[in-house]
């Protein structure tokens, strides 16, 4: 399953936040240094991520198109819900405790 933002897009957003919004506000030398180190670490993460194969969303596209066409056989909801639960294990694991 592929989701936006991708892991790299999320890392990029954090990078921009740290360098653009946090770093300019820091006067403390130690904190500035550590933030620069964190940005370096994030750069490593992004380069690692770039080496991973791209996720394929063809199956989700096909399913979405079928439902759009009104083709909703029994079992569709159970399957879709299981897929969303799987995404939540990554995106917001504690949310599932609310049900």
Partner 1 sequence: MIADMREALEAVLGPISEPMLLPGGASKEAWAVDAGGERLLVRRAGGGVIHRHTLSLRHEFEVLEVAYEQGVRAPRPVAYIEALAGREAFVMERLEGETIGRRIVREPVPAGLPVQMAEELAKIHALPPERLPFLEAATIDRLVVELDEVGEPHPAIELGLWWLRENRPPPRDPVVVHGDFRIGNLVVDGSGLVGVLDWEFAHLDDPARDLAFSLVRAWRFGADALRLGGIGDVEPYLERYNELTGFDVRPEELDYWELAGNVGWAIGCLTQAQRHLTGQERSVELAILGRLGAEVEYEICHLLERQGVA
Residue numbers at the binding site for partner 1 (CB under 8 A): 3-5, 9-10, 13-14, 16-17, 57, 60-61, 63-65, 67-68, 70, 72, 74-78, 80-81, 83-85, 87-88, 90-92, 95-96, 98-99
Tokens 């380069």 identify what position?
47
**Length of the chain counted residue by residue:** 99
30 or 50, CB closer to partner 1?
50
Tokens 């399957």 identify what position?
79
Least distance CB 25 / partner 1 (angstroms): 15
DSSP element (H, E) containing 16: helix 7-16
16 or 48, CB closer to partner 1?
16
13 or 31, CB closer to partner 1?
13
Q: Which residues contact 49 (CB under 8 A, 6 or more apart)?
A: 7, 8, 11
């Amino acid at each position: 399953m592929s989701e936006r933002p991708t892991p790299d897009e999320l890392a990029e957003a954090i990078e921009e936040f740290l360098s653009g919004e946090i770093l300019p506000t820091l006067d403390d030398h130690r904190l500035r240094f550590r933030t620069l180190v964190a940005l370096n670490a994030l750069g490593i993460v992004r380069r690692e991520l770039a080496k991973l194969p791209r996720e394929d969303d063809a199956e989700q596209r096909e399913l979405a198109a079928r439902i759009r066409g009104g083709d909703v056989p029994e079992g569709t909801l159970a399957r879709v819900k299981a897929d969303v639960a799987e995404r939540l294990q990554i995106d917001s694991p504690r949310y599932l405790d609310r049900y």
